[in-house]
Amino acid sequence: MSKALHLLPLAELARLLQQKLLTSVALTEHFLQRIDRFNPTLNAFIQVDRDRAYRDARRADDILAKGTHGSPLTGIPYALKDIFDVESEPTTCHSHLMLQHRAARSSTVASRLAASGAVYLGKLATHEFALGGPSDELPFPPARNPWNTAHFTGASSSGAGAAVAAGLVPIALGSDTSGSIRGPACLCGVVGFKPTYGVVSRAGVFPLSWTLDHCGPLTRFSDDTRRVLQAIAGYDPADPTTVTRKLDLSPRAVTWPSHRIAWPRHLLTDNPHTDPALIAAMDRAVGFLTEAGARVEEVRFRDFSLFNACGRIIMAAESFAVHQHNLRERGAEYGRFTFQRILPGATISAAELLDALRLRTALTGWLNAELFPRYSLLLFPGTLRAAPHFNEFSQDWPPASHVVPTQTIPFNVTGNPALSLPLGLTEAGLPLGLQLVGRLFDDSLVLDAGEAMEKWLAMPALSDDVMLRPHRVVPVTG
């Protein structure tokens, strides 16, 4: 094999397993050895279940030995953000309040991955209750960016982004309420996908905001994401928000001349905190699309600030509703950032929440009834800069607006599928990324387009030497 196992796409790993050129036990051992080597620095995993991993791997090898190929994920390791339940395993949500909690049953996502024959490695770091922020006062240290461990990972699926980028696991499942899959994917240089709302079940996943939460994968390639989505998508009676509509997720070649793509470049150029390197990188991506025959047209993305305000009000109100009892009874056990982020939800009136919900309907209608009928895809920034240094976070939330200027929450408000793709590196060696957004339930086209664009964007793989390079690792406040 010319490439190390952790750099290969899932299709190639599946081929090696199915042709018996590789065993799942050997593949699992490869990733466990990488976890042993790099996780003490990266803090991506907070719990590794070696016994379960080897048990799953041996079971997968038995399936493959019988001459049946199983599923495309049979024998391939995965890990879960520590808000996903796995039966009898701890689900701590990275919080002192949950350290004694063990799940009575598995989340639907975990059950479907297990049924596919995938190999469970363990739980990944998050922010407390998938909100909070990077902090040393929590039961586990914050995950660190493998491109430079003195830098942030992006958002609450922090361990997932770091683990996939570092080659500790090929599949990580995260959640995305305002960008917590796409932020870490963007800042860690991997692929992250927020499916259409209702496509993936959230049963058995600790909620942050019932109407904004999405679950989805972080992987190295868009086709990897498709393979995971094929395993986990679909109606679930345990989650009444899932849709009965069955998506056709078969890959198709993109005929670019048949696509008209909206490009709100002003979101970059109007913001003084945008890194010029990101503007140049996205302009190059537009150039590739144009050369391939796509019609890329600059548009005004109306009322971005209203999308942001609308989403923040809904998230604040719903997260307070989730936590109100514990805030009253055990408020001192929350981390500082988490407490500061949840408590303002108590001040939101019913009238203000209803105003936000009405605004949500209007904004969703504009996007899906006015913009998307004219365009098949929307090219969008992910964040406006590369990963910030940990010392840019103060002791109180929120940090300065330029520290984590994500551009992701509009599509939690509307529910549209959104893919974060790596664009390349800054001169400082930190990843940049973009988003591809599609029409509701057009998840497959978004992944098709992502796969096609990866061939042009050619994100370099993270080398072990970079992760081993000494960085000034500072304590994280909070």
Mean pLDDT of 294-312: 95
Looking at the chain, the whole-number percentage of residues with pLDDT higher than 90 is 90
**Structure tokens, 360:** 């949500």
State the pLDDT at residue 2: 59
pLDDT at 195: 98
Residue 347 forms part of a structural domain: no
pLDDT greater than 60 at residue 1: no
> Beta strands 214-219 and 260-263: pairing type?
unpaired
Residues 6 or more apart whose Cβ sits within 8 Å of residue 3: none
Look at the chain and count its residues.
Answer: 478
Q: Which of 362, 346, 375 is nearest to 438 (CA)?
A: 375
pLDDT for position 459: 87
* pLDDT tens per residue, range 309-340: 999 999 999 999 999 999 999 999 999 999 99
* The total number of structural domains that make up the chain: 1
What pLDDT sits at residue 191?
Answer: 98
pLDDT of residue 3: 78
pLDDT of residue 458: 80
Q: How confident is the model at residue 353 (pLDDT cuts 50, 70, 90)?
A: very high
Burial 55-83 (b: 16+ CB within 10 A, else e): ebbebbbebbeeeeebbbbbbbbbbbbbb
Task: Please count the other Cβ atoms lying within 10 Å of the Cβ belonging to residue 441.
Answer: 19
DSSP 134-188: S-SSSSSPPP--TT-TTB--SSSSHHHHHHHHTTS-S-EEEEESSSTTHHHHHHH
Q: Which residues are catalytic?
A: 81, 156, 180
Average pLDDT over residues 251-266: 97
pLDDT at 83: 98
Cα–Cα distances (Å) from 112 to 61, 116, 242, 273, 391, in that order, read 18, 6, 15, 42, 40
Average pLDDT over residues 175-193: 97
Asked if the structure places residue 248 within a domain, the reply is yes
Would you say residue 319 lies in a domain? no
Which pLDDT band holds residue 132 (cuts at 50, 70, 90)? confident
Average pLDDT in the 34-46 region? 97
Query: Considering only CA atoms, which of 182, 188, 181 is closest in space to residue 42?
Result: 188
Residue 370 lies in a domain: no
Question: Hey, what's the torsion of the CAs at 201, 204, 205, 206, to 10 degrees?
Answer: 140
Please, which pLDDT band fits residue 223 given cuts at 50, 70 and 90? very high
In one letter, which amino acid is 196? T
pLDDT at residue 386, rounded to an integer: 96
Please indicate, yes or no, if residue 178 is contained in any of the structural domains.
Answer: yes
pLDDT in tens, 17-38: 999 999 999 999 999 999 999 9
Q: Within a domain: residue 23? A: yes
The pLDDT score that the predictor gives to residue 477 is: 61
Look at residue 472 in the predicted model and tell me its pLDDT.
62
CATH classification of the domain holding 434: 3.90.1300.10
What b-and-e string marks burial along 154-180, b requiring 16 or more CB atoms within 10 Å of the CB? bbbbbbbbbbbbbbbbbbbbbbbbbbb
Residue 279 within a domain: no
Domain assignment present for residue 275? The answer is no
Residue with tokens 């549209």: 416
Q: Give 417-445 pLDDT, tens digit per residue.
A: 999 999 999 999 999 999 999 999 999 99
pLDDT digits (tens, 9 = 90+) for 49-66: 999 999 999 999 999 999
DSSP secondary structure string for all residues of 69-109? ---TTTT-EEEEETTB--TTSB--TTSGGGTT-B-SS--HH
The residue behind tokens 């479907």 is 112
Range of 22's domain? 5-256+389-397+416-468
Beta bridge partner(s), residue 222:
none
Classify residue 219 by burial, with Cβ atoms within 10 Å: 0-12, 13-18, 19+: buried
What is the DSSP secondary structure assignment for residue 57, as one 8-state letter? H
> Is residue 478 over pLDDT 70?
no
